[in-house]
Every structure is written in C-alpha cells, then in structure tokens.
Amino acid sequence: MSPDKEKMLAGKLYKASDSQLDKETRHAKKLTRQYNATTEDDASLRQGILFDLFNKIGSPSYIEPPFRTDYGINTTIGKNFYANYDNIFIDVAPIKIGDNCMFGPRVSLYTAGHPIVSDIRNEQLEFGKPISIGNNVWIGGNAVVNPGVTIGNNTVIGSGSVVTKDIPDNVVAAGNPCRVIRKITEQDQQYWEQEKRSYYQN
C-alpha cells in the first residue's frame, strides 16, 4: 500500500495524485461508466459490476444509473439496498451502509474534506473521515451526508437535508443543518400496520 493511501485511509492529509490512488480511481471510473451504460435488461451484468466495484455489497441490491463513486473499494453495503438516480459516493474514507437501506435520488455521501487554510489547500492536500449508516435507514432525495457522520438504525433523513452531525437511532431528522425532528413511536408502528392491512384487504 502506498504511503498516501495509508494516510488517506487513516484520515490524515494525503495527495490524490499518488500513483496507486490514481490507478484505483481510474478503475472505479471505468466500472461506473460501464454500469451507467447498461440498460434495464442487463440485470446480471449490473450485479456483476457492483460486485467488482465495491468492497462488499449484499444481495439483492439495486442502484439506478447514473451513479458515481471515487473508489468503490472503500464502500461496504449490506443486503437489500436500493439507491435511486444520481447517487454520489465520495469514498476517500470508508463508507459503511447497513441492511435494508433506501436512498432517494441525488443522495450524496461525501467523506472528503479539504483544509480551510487556502495555502495548504492549494497544495492539493486533502483528507477523509468515514461515514456510517445503520440498518433500515431511509434517506430522502437531494440529501447530503458530510464527512465523519454516523446515522443510526431505523432512522429517516428528510429530503434536501445536509447532515453535518451524528443522528441517533429511531428518529426522523431533516433540515440544513439536519436535526432531529421527532422520535419514531409506537403510534407510527400502529398507523403503518393499519395502512398495510388496508392494502392487503383491498
């Protein structure tokens, strides 16, 4: 492993121009280009590309093209994952997504950061902080998850949110910056159980 890759994965300053990192991101761009060129009739081809692209992805999982990522190999995805159009995963640091997660269109996970001091930033030095998303999480369209954020299990993130801090389990959160709106309660469970019964009765 190259020194800059070690620094990148450790959350330290690094340069993306490193030859190993350049090779890996080129590989990811090649695979995402192939993926985005597939059609709805290419289900097995799509699945094969996703297995090659990511560190791990559970089955079944589906990502609607187009999709973009920097490396892919730094992203781990659980089973029964769905992402709508135009998702972007900037995975210079690890991204971990749990089981049974749903992402709306244009959800962006950004692990990359840059120094706020311009002369250091202008030396092309950057860093990354990991993103962790629990099980059974729904993230609405156009939401942005910033570096270093953890989102808990069973949580809903409203569309258009900018998530800058950790969000706990079992809540609805939204806004810019994203904040907890309320807990998900037993009343929610009862309401949606009734809605489900109505669906199956009709």
Q: Which of 114, 125, 129, 150 is an active site residue? A: 114
What sign for the dihedral angle of Cα 175, 133, 83, 5? positive
Determine the Cα–Cα distance for residues 130 and 29; give it in Å rounded to an integer.
Answer: 21
Kindly give the residue spans of alpha helices, DSSP state H, lying in 61-176.
118-121
Phi and psi, residue 53, nearest 5°: -75, -45
Provide the 3-class DSSP secondary structure of residue 173.
strand
Helix axes 43-53, 19-36, angle to 10 degrees: 170
Provide the 3-class DSSP secondary structure of residue 158.
coil
Q: Are 184 and 156 in contact (CB under 8 A)?
A: yes
172: amino acid identity, one letter? V
What sign for the dihedral angle of Cα 30, 110, 42, 57? positive
- Assess whether 114 carries a catalytic annotation: yes
Determine the Cα–Cα distance for residues 42 and 65; give it in Å rounded to an integer.
Answer: 12
Catalytic sites, residue numbers: 114
